[in-house]
């Protein structure tokens, strides 16, 4: 997602020459057809991101080519911006271009790409190679990468929403652990905020993403599902929106109350708060709690961070009687239906998803691997001990609706949830209107 990619610009000095660092590895399995004939040729790999990420991908490609002489992987550099990357791929796929052969996709795009018939199913390749899918988070694969019994992609790295908190402030105000319920968070945030404002009038109890954009949908999903609600469900193979369920209205009312009733979240939550303003508010010492993605951990603990060594991470809270929920984010890799070298593209995917390459992503880029087994690697745990906590969060992550019209659905949800946060509509009115527009959208696509 855009937040993770933009944030990488700030992470610090990372290894650029990955070949020299020896962090990629991956070995050299023979690339061959089912008849044993060695494959030659070229594929185009499309990927975007921050400059250090692109340099790292160049190293991955160099290792792959070194292991397989005669093979060429051309890197097609995309933009850093997530939406520009999506449009770039959509244009190529709609035009049935043979390039790019293989590419990364934001998890939110999968519904559109699969429904449009743009992705090559991977099942035959998995079966032919007896490829071990159990190495990946099964919930992620089943909820995001698999549709109608077919596998279309694999996770390269994973994101999910987290609660960051100031360990020193919890101790200062008599708390031994972070909140487990949303009401506990409010009580703790109010107490800490009142105390800290005696010296810092800019201090807030809890900061989160509330501006009208995709990040607001991610936050909304977490409040809704942690109250037993849902955005929709599949019935007879069709997705049916459930945006105005009572549980959802209650969840949205709580979001509104954080700003207007409890006053632990700033008024600019619904006008300015995206990932980076949220992160900076917390990192500058102006908040007790923060909802953000895993990328913020490294930045909070950087040498120049005012809160270095004072930050804890935990699952997001939940409402009474329900479970914590975290919105699934991250990037997945797949093969174009129109690729003219699918076998070679599959070999490249296997290389990218290999243990050593996934470990390299974690060690050098701070990414959260798509493979479960890397989370137990001693070197990875030593460098990023918080990954142990993240593993459980990722296993229970909730995807946004995997439907072909998700971009339009997201626009509807953003608009009305933000209107409620701004006090322009009541939560009930906002979600009733969102439900009506979502139903109309579904009708357009279902005929």
Q: How many CB atoms lie within 10 A of CB 304?
A: 9
In this structure, what is the dihedral angle of CA atoms 333, 59, 359, 77, given to the nearest 10 degrees?
Answer: -30
Whether pLDDT at 254 is above 60: yes
Q: What is the pLDDT of residues 158-211, one digit of tens each?
A: 999 999 999 999 999 999 999 999 999 999 999 999 999 999 999 999 999 999
Instruction: Sheet with 204-207: list strands edge to edge.
Output: 204-207, 287-292, 162-166, 311-314
- What mean pLDDT comes out for the span 432-444? 96
Mapping DSSP to helix (H, G, I), strand (E, B) and coil, where does residue 113 land? helix
Question: In this model, does residue 1 exceed pLDDT 80?
Answer: no
The two three-digit tokens of residue 86, written as one number: 């999506």
Q: Is residue 228 pLDDT above 90, yes or no?
A: yes
The pLDDT of residue 76 is above 70: yes
Q: In this predicted structure, what is the pLDDT of residue 39? A: 66
- What confidence score (pLDDT) does residue 35 get? 40
State the pLDDT at residue 345. 97
Q: Confidence band (pLDDT; 50, 70, 90) for 393?
A: confident
Residue 237's pLDDT is what? Answer: 77
Going along the chain from its start, the domains and CATH numbers come out as: 2-159+329-398 (3.40.190.10), 162-327+401-446 (3.40.190.10)
Q: Is the pLDDT of residue 311 over 80?
A: yes
Q: Are 300 and 172 in contact (CB under 8 A)?
A: no
Q: Would you say residue 28 has pLDDT above 70?
A: no
Rounded to whole angstroms, the maximal C-alpha distance in the chain is 75
Structure tokens at 268: 């600019």
* Helices 427-446/406-421 angle, 10° precision: 170
pLDDT at 422 over 80: yes
| DSSP codes, 395-443 | HTEEPPP--TTHHHHHHHHHHHHHHHHTTSS-HHHHHHHHHHHHHHHHH
pLDDT of residue 128: 96
Average pLDDT, the chain: 90
Predicted pLDDT of residue 16: 35
pTM confidence score:
0.81
């Amino acid at each position: 997602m855009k937040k993770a990619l933009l944030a990488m610009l700030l992470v610090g000095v990372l290894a650029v020459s990955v070949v020299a660092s020896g962090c990629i590895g991956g070995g050299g399995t023979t690339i061959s057809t089912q008849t044993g004939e060695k494959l030659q040729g070229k594929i185009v790999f499309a990927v975007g991101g921050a400059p250090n990420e692109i340099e790292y991908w160049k190293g991955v490609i160099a290792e792959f080519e070194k292991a397989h002489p005669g093979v060429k992987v051309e890197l097609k550099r995309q933009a850093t911006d997530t939406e520009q990357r999506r449009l770039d791929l959509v244009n190529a796929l709609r035009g049935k271009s043979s390039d790019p052969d293989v590419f990364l996709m934001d998890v939110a795009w999968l519904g559109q790409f699969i429904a449009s018939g743009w992705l090559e199913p991977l099942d035959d390749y998995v079966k032919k190679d007896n490829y071990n899918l159990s190495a990946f988070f099964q919930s992620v694969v089943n909820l995001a990468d698999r549709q109608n019994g077919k596998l279309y992609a694999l996770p390269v790295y994973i994101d999910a929403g987290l609660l960051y908190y100031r360990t020193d402030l919890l101790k200062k105000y008599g708390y031994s652990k972070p909140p487990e319920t949303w009401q506990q968070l409010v009580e703790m945030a109010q107490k800490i905020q009142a105390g800290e404002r005696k010296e810092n009038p800019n201090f807030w109890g809890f900061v989160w993403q509330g501006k009208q954009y995709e990040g607001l949908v991610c936050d909304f999903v977490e409040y809704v599902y942690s109250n037993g609600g849902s955005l929709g469900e599949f019935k007879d193979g069709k997705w049916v929106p459930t945006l105005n369920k009572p549980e959802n209205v209650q969840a949205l009312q709580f979001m509104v109350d954080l700003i207007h009733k409890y006053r632990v979240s700033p008024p600019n939550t619904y006008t300015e708060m995206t990932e980076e303003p949220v992160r900076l508010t917390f990192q500058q010492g102006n908040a007790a709690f923060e909802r953000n993605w895993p990328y913020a951990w490294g930045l909070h603990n950087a040498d120049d961070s005012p809160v270095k060594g004072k930050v804890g991470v935990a699952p997001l809270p939940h409402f009474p009687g329900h479970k914590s929920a975290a919105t699934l984010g991250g990037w997945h890799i797949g093969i174009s239906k129109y690729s003219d070298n699918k076998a070679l593209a599959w070999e490249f995917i296997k290389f990218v998803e290999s243990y050593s390459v996934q470990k390299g992503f974690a060690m050098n880029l701070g990414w959260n691997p798509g493979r479960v087994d890397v989370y137990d690697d001693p070197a990875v745990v030593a460098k990023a001990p918080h990954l142990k906590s993240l593993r459980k969060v990722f296993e229970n992550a909730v995807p946004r609706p995997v439907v072909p019209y998700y971009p339009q659905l997201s626009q509807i949800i953003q608009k009305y949830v933000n209107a409620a946060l701004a006090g322009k509509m009541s939560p009930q009115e906002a979600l009733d209107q969102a439900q009506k527009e979502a139903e109309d959208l579904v009708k357009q696509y279902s005929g």
